[in-house]
Chains A and B, each alone.
Chain A
Amino acid sequence: MISYGSYLLISAFLFVIGLIIMMARKNIVAILLGIEFILNSAALSFVTYSKFITKNLDGHIFALFIIVIAAAEAAVGLAIIIRFFQIKETIHIDEATELRN
Protein backbone atom coordinates (compact mmCIF):
# COMPACT_ATOMS: atom_id res chain seq x y z
CA MET A 1 0.00 0.00 0.00
CA ILE A 2 2.80 2.43 0.88
CA SER A 3 4.31 2.72 -2.58
CA TYR A 4 6.13 5.44 -4.44
CA GLY A 5 3.14 5.93 -6.72
CA SER A 6 0.61 6.42 -3.97
CA TYR A 7 2.53 9.39 -2.57
CA LEU A 8 2.86 10.93 -6.02
CA LEU A 9 -0.85 10.46 -6.66
CA ILE A 10 -1.77 12.12 -3.37
CA SER A 11 0.60 14.96 -4.21
CA ALA A 12 -0.95 15.40 -7.66
CA PHE A 13 -4.40 15.29 -6.08
CA LEU A 14 -3.48 18.08 -3.67
CA PHE A 15 -2.12 20.13 -6.56
CA VAL A 16 -5.36 19.74 -8.52
CA ILE A 17 -7.44 20.67 -5.47
CA GLY A 18 -5.34 23.79 -4.97
CA LEU A 19 -5.67 24.69 -8.63
CA ILE A 20 -9.47 24.33 -8.53
CA ILE A 21 -9.71 26.47 -5.41
CA MET A 22 -7.46 29.15 -6.90
CA MET A 23 -9.34 29.28 -10.18
CA ALA A 24 -12.91 28.93 -8.99
CA ARG A 25 -13.08 31.11 -5.91
CA LYS A 26 -13.27 34.87 -5.75
CA ASN A 27 -12.46 35.29 -2.07
CA ILE A 28 -8.82 36.35 -1.62
CA VAL A 29 -8.41 34.28 1.56
CA ALA A 30 -9.64 31.24 -0.34
CA ILE A 31 -7.09 31.88 -3.08
CA LEU A 32 -4.31 31.98 -0.47
CA LEU A 33 -5.72 28.71 0.84
CA GLY A 34 -5.37 27.20 -2.62
CA ILE A 35 -1.74 28.33 -2.76
CA GLU A 36 -1.10 26.53 0.52
CA PHE A 37 -2.41 23.30 -1.01
CA ILE A 38 -0.13 23.68 -4.02
CA LEU A 39 2.94 24.40 -1.89
CA ASN A 40 2.14 21.35 0.23
CA SER A 41 1.85 19.14 -2.81
CA ALA A 42 5.28 20.31 -3.99
CA ALA A 43 6.83 19.68 -0.58
CA LEU A 44 5.29 16.20 -0.39
CA SER A 45 6.72 15.38 -3.82
CA PHE A 46 10.19 16.54 -2.75
CA VAL A 47 10.16 14.41 0.39
CA THR A 48 8.92 11.41 -1.63
CA TYR A 49 11.72 11.78 -4.18
CA SER A 50 14.23 12.11 -1.39
CA LYS A 51 13.01 8.82 0.10
CA PHE A 52 12.68 6.77 -3.09
CA ILE A 53 15.02 8.25 -5.70
CA THR A 54 17.95 10.25 -4.35
CA LYS A 55 18.03 8.55 -0.91
CA ASN A 56 19.56 11.59 0.79
CA LEU A 57 18.10 14.51 2.69
CA ASP A 58 18.17 17.27 0.06
CA GLY A 59 14.45 16.82 -0.54
CA HIS A 60 13.81 17.47 3.13
CA ILE A 61 15.75 20.74 2.89
CA PHE A 62 13.60 21.76 -0.06
CA ALA A 63 10.46 20.94 1.91
CA LEU A 64 11.69 23.02 4.85
CA PHE A 65 12.35 26.03 2.62
CA ILE A 66 8.94 25.62 1.02
CA ILE A 67 7.38 25.77 4.49
CA VAL A 68 9.43 28.91 5.29
CA ILE A 69 8.28 30.56 2.07
CA ALA A 70 4.67 29.56 2.77
CA ALA A 71 4.89 31.25 6.17
CA ALA A 72 6.33 34.47 4.74
CA GLU A 73 3.79 34.48 1.92
CA ALA A 74 0.87 33.95 4.29
CA ALA A 75 1.99 36.77 6.59
CA VAL A 76 2.41 39.34 3.81
CA GLY A 77 -0.65 38.12 1.89
CA LEU A 78 -2.94 38.37 4.88
CA ALA A 79 -1.58 41.83 5.72
CA ILE A 80 -2.42 42.92 2.18
CA ILE A 81 -5.88 41.38 2.49
CA ILE A 82 -6.62 43.25 5.71
CA ARG A 83 -5.37 46.51 4.19
CA PHE A 84 -7.46 45.87 1.07
CA PHE A 85 -10.50 45.24 3.21
CA GLN A 86 -9.93 48.52 5.06
CA ILE A 87 -9.95 50.43 1.76
CA LYS A 88 -12.60 48.60 -0.28
CA GLU A 89 -14.63 46.93 2.50
CA THR A 90 -14.77 43.72 0.52
CA ILE A 91 -12.35 40.91 -0.26
CA HIS A 92 -13.80 40.07 -3.67
CA ILE A 93 -10.85 39.59 -6.03
CA ASP A 94 -12.61 41.38 -8.92
CA GLU A 95 -12.68 44.60 -6.89
CA ALA A 96 -8.89 44.77 -6.92
CA THR A 97 -8.62 46.80 -10.10
CA GLU A 98 -6.60 49.84 -9.08
CA LEU A 99 -2.97 50.24 -8.16
CA ARG A 100 -3.59 53.30 -6.00
CA ASN A 101 -6.58 54.16 -3.87
Chain B
Amino acid sequence: MLFLNVLFGVSAVLTIASSLLCVFTKNIMHACVYLLGALLGVAGLYMTLGADFVAVTQIMVYVGGIVILMLFAVMLTGGKEFVSKAQKLLNLVPLMGNKWTFLIASLASLVFAGVTVQLYFKLPEFFKTVDNTEFSSTVDELGKLLITDHLLAFELSSVLLLGALVGAAIIARPRKEEVK
Protein backbone atom coordinates (compact mmCIF):
# COMPACT_ATOMS: atom_id res chain seq x y z
CA MET B 1 0.00 0.00 0.00
CA LEU B 2 2.85 2.34 0.91
CA PHE B 3 4.58 1.56 -2.37
CA LEU B 4 1.35 2.06 -4.34
CA ASN B 5 0.76 5.45 -2.76
CA VAL B 6 4.29 6.58 -3.57
CA LEU B 7 3.97 5.32 -7.15
CA PHE B 8 0.60 7.01 -7.59
CA GLY B 9 1.87 10.32 -6.24
CA VAL B 10 4.96 10.34 -8.43
CA SER B 11 3.03 9.33 -11.57
CA ALA B 12 0.23 11.84 -11.03
CA VAL B 13 2.64 14.73 -10.43
CA LEU B 14 4.73 13.67 -13.46
CA THR B 15 1.66 13.48 -15.70
CA ILE B 16 0.16 16.81 -14.64
CA ALA B 17 3.42 18.75 -14.59
CA SER B 18 4.56 17.44 -17.98
CA SER B 19 1.25 18.12 -19.66
CA LEU B 20 1.15 21.67 -18.29
CA LEU B 21 4.71 22.29 -19.48
CA CYS B 22 3.71 20.83 -22.84
CA VAL B 23 1.09 23.56 -23.23
CA PHE B 24 3.29 26.39 -22.07
CA THR B 25 6.51 25.59 -23.88
CA LYS B 26 7.45 27.52 -27.00
CA ASN B 27 9.72 24.91 -28.50
CA ILE B 28 7.95 22.03 -30.25
CA MET B 29 10.92 19.71 -29.60
CA HIS B 30 10.58 20.35 -25.88
CA ALA B 31 6.85 19.73 -26.16
CA CYS B 32 7.60 16.24 -27.53
CA VAL B 33 9.91 15.54 -24.58
CA TYR B 34 7.22 16.71 -22.14
CA LEU B 35 4.77 14.41 -23.93
CA LEU B 36 7.22 11.61 -23.16
CA GLY B 37 7.08 12.54 -19.45
CA ALA B 38 3.28 12.60 -19.46
CA LEU B 39 3.10 9.21 -21.21
CA LEU B 40 5.47 7.65 -18.66
CA GLY B 41 3.30 9.13 -15.91
CA VAL B 42 0.17 7.58 -17.42
CA ALA B 43 2.02 4.24 -17.61
CA GLY B 44 2.72 4.57 -13.88
CA LEU B 45 -0.99 5.23 -13.26
CA TYR B 46 -1.85 2.05 -15.20
CA MET B 47 0.57 0.19 -12.92
CA THR B 48 -1.27 1.44 -9.82
CA LEU B 49 -4.52 0.19 -11.38
CA GLY B 50 -3.02 -3.29 -11.76
CA ALA B 51 -2.95 -3.05 -15.55
CA ASP B 52 0.61 -4.27 -16.01
CA PHE B 53 0.29 -5.36 -19.64
CA VAL B 54 -1.38 -2.11 -20.71
CA ALA B 55 1.27 -0.08 -18.88
CA VAL B 56 4.15 -1.85 -20.59
CA THR B 57 2.41 -1.67 -23.99
CA GLN B 58 2.00 2.05 -23.40
CA ILE B 59 5.75 2.47 -22.78
CA MET B 60 6.63 0.18 -25.70
CA VAL B 61 4.42 1.83 -28.34
CA TYR B 62 4.60 5.44 -27.23
CA VAL B 63 8.20 5.78 -26.05
CA GLY B 64 9.73 3.35 -28.50
CA GLY B 65 7.58 4.35 -31.45
CA ILE B 66 5.41 7.42 -31.45
CA VAL B 67 7.65 9.85 -29.57
CA ILE B 68 10.68 8.92 -31.69
CA LEU B 69 8.54 9.30 -34.86
CA MET B 70 7.42 12.73 -33.67
CA LEU B 71 10.97 13.79 -32.87
CA PHE B 72 11.97 12.67 -36.38
CA ALA B 73 9.10 14.60 -37.93
CA VAL B 74 9.98 17.75 -36.00
CA MET B 75 13.62 17.46 -37.00
CA LEU B 76 12.87 16.77 -40.68
CA THR B 77 10.52 19.73 -40.84
CA GLY B 78 12.87 22.10 -39.01
CA GLY B 79 11.15 22.59 -35.67
CA LYS B 80 12.79 25.70 -34.39
CA GLU B 81 11.92 28.04 -37.26
CA PHE B 82 8.29 28.13 -36.32
CA VAL B 83 8.57 29.86 -32.96
CA SER B 84 6.54 33.01 -33.29
CA LYS B 85 8.57 36.18 -33.18
CA ALA B 86 5.99 38.45 -31.51
CA GLN B 87 6.31 37.39 -27.92
CA LYS B 88 4.32 39.54 -25.54
CA LEU B 89 1.89 38.50 -22.83
CA LEU B 90 -0.45 35.85 -24.10
CA ASN B 91 1.43 35.39 -27.35
CA LEU B 92 4.17 33.83 -25.24
CA VAL B 93 1.93 30.95 -24.35
CA PRO B 94 1.05 28.90 -27.41
CA LEU B 95 3.45 28.07 -30.15
CA MET B 96 2.35 29.75 -33.37
CA GLY B 97 -1.19 30.46 -32.30
CA ASN B 98 -2.43 33.95 -31.56
CA LYS B 99 -3.90 35.09 -28.29
CA TRP B 100 -7.51 34.82 -29.47
CA THR B 101 -7.32 31.18 -30.41
CA PHE B 102 -5.64 30.52 -27.09
CA LEU B 103 -8.25 32.47 -25.12
CA ILE B 104 -11.15 30.75 -26.84
CA ALA B 105 -9.52 27.34 -26.42
CA SER B 106 -8.86 27.93 -22.73
CA LEU B 107 -12.37 29.23 -22.06
CA ALA B 108 -13.98 26.32 -23.87
CA SER B 109 -11.77 23.89 -22.00
CA LEU B 110 -12.53 25.56 -18.68
CA VAL B 111 -16.26 25.28 -19.31
CA PHE B 112 -15.78 21.63 -20.25
CA ALA B 113 -13.63 21.01 -17.18
CA GLY B 114 -16.19 22.70 -14.93
CA VAL B 115 -19.02 20.55 -16.24
CA THR B 116 -16.91 17.40 -15.94
CA VAL B 117 -15.90 18.12 -12.35
CA GLN B 118 -19.51 18.90 -11.45
CA LEU B 119 -20.63 15.61 -12.96
CA TYR B 120 -17.84 13.62 -11.36
CA PHE B 121 -18.47 14.89 -7.85
CA LYS B 122 -22.06 13.70 -8.11
CA LEU B 123 -20.93 10.13 -8.72
CA PRO B 124 -21.60 7.94 -5.68
CA GLU B 125 -18.32 6.04 -6.06
CA PHE B 126 -16.21 9.18 -6.34
CA PHE B 127 -14.21 8.65 -3.17
CA LYS B 128 -14.04 4.88 -3.45
CA THR B 129 -10.47 3.72 -3.05
CA VAL B 130 -8.65 0.68 -4.37
CA ASP B 131 -9.84 -2.17 -2.17
CA ASN B 132 -7.40 -4.99 -2.82
CA THR B 133 -3.78 -4.20 -3.51
CA GLU B 134 -2.72 -7.72 -4.41
CA PHE B 135 -2.72 -7.79 -8.20
CA SER B 136 -2.89 -10.93 -10.22
CA SER B 137 -1.40 -11.22 -13.67
CA THR B 138 -3.58 -9.83 -16.44
CA VAL B 139 -1.50 -11.32 -19.25
CA ASP B 140 -3.12 -14.78 -19.48
CA GLU B 141 -6.62 -13.35 -19.14
CA LEU B 142 -5.99 -10.67 -21.80
CA GLY B 143 -4.61 -13.25 -24.21
CA LYS B 144 -7.68 -15.42 -23.83
CA LEU B 145 -10.02 -12.44 -24.26
CA LEU B 146 -8.19 -11.30 -27.38
CA ILE B 147 -8.61 -14.58 -29.19
CA THR B 148 -12.16 -15.32 -28.02
CA ASP B 149 -14.45 -12.36 -27.32
CA HIS B 150 -12.52 -9.73 -29.23
CA LEU B 151 -11.15 -11.81 -32.09
CA LEU B 152 -12.73 -9.70 -34.84
CA ALA B 153 -11.36 -6.44 -33.42
CA PHE B 154 -7.96 -8.08 -33.01
CA GLU B 155 -7.84 -9.21 -36.65
CA LEU B 156 -9.17 -5.86 -37.87
CA SER B 157 -6.48 -4.02 -35.92
CA SER B 158 -3.81 -6.14 -37.61
CA VAL B 159 -5.26 -5.19 -41.01
CA LEU B 160 -5.38 -1.57 -39.87
CA LEU B 161 -1.71 -1.66 -38.87
CA LEU B 162 -0.70 -3.22 -42.18
CA GLY B 163 -2.70 -0.58 -44.04
CA ALA B 164 -1.09 2.18 -41.99
CA LEU B 165 2.38 0.78 -42.68
CA VAL B 166 1.86 0.56 -46.45
CA GLY B 167 0.02 3.88 -46.57
CA ALA B 168 2.71 5.72 -44.66
CA ALA B 169 5.41 4.27 -46.91
CA ILE B 170 3.51 5.29 -50.06
CA ILE B 171 2.66 8.79 -48.86
CA ALA B 172 6.12 9.70 -47.61
CA ARG B 173 8.17 8.38 -50.52
CA PRO B 174 9.35 10.98 -53.05
CA ARG B 175 7.45 11.07 -56.36
CA LYS B 176 9.25 9.98 -59.50
CA GLU B 177 9.08 13.32 -61.29
CA GLU B 178 10.58 15.04 -58.25
CA VAL B 179 13.59 12.77 -58.17
CA LYS B 180 14.62 13.83 -61.68
Contact = CB atoms under 8 A, between A and B. Distances in A.
B37 interface: no
A7 B46 CA distance: 10
A3 interface: yes
A33 interface: yes
B165 interface: yes
Interface in B9-50: 9, 12, 15-16, 19-20, 22-23, 28, 31-32, 35, 38-39, 42, 45-46, 48-50
Interface string A47-75: 11011110001101101110111111111
B141 to A, nearest CB: 5
B161 A7 contact: no
B150 A51 contact: no
B76 interface: yes
Contacts, number: 230
Contact of A3 (B15, B19, B69, B126): B126
Given A2-B130, A24-B102, A82-B172, A13 B16 contact: yes
A78 B31 contact: no
Contacts of A80: 171
Interface in B56-79: 57-58, 61-62, 65-66, 69-70, 72-74, 76-77, 79
B54 A64 contact: yes
Interface size range of chain B in the complex:
35 or more
Given A17-B22, A20-B105, A75 B168 contact: yes
A76 B161 CA distance: 10
A60 to B, nearest CB: 5
Nearest to A91: B77
Nearest to B74: A29
Nearest to B70: A29
Interface of B: 4-5, 8-9, 12, 15-16, 19-20, 22-23, 28, 31-32, 35, 38-39, 42, 45-46, 48-51, 53-54, 57-58, 61-62, 65-66, 69-70, 72-74, 76-77, 79, 82, 93-97, 101-102, 104-106, 108-110, 112-113, 116-117, 120-121, 123, 125-130, 138, 141-142, 145-146, 149-150, 153, 157, 160-161, 163-165, 167-169, 171-172, 174, 178
Given A37-B22, A83-B172, 6 more contacts: A4-B123, A5-B123, A17-B19, A36-B66, A51-B51, A64-B53
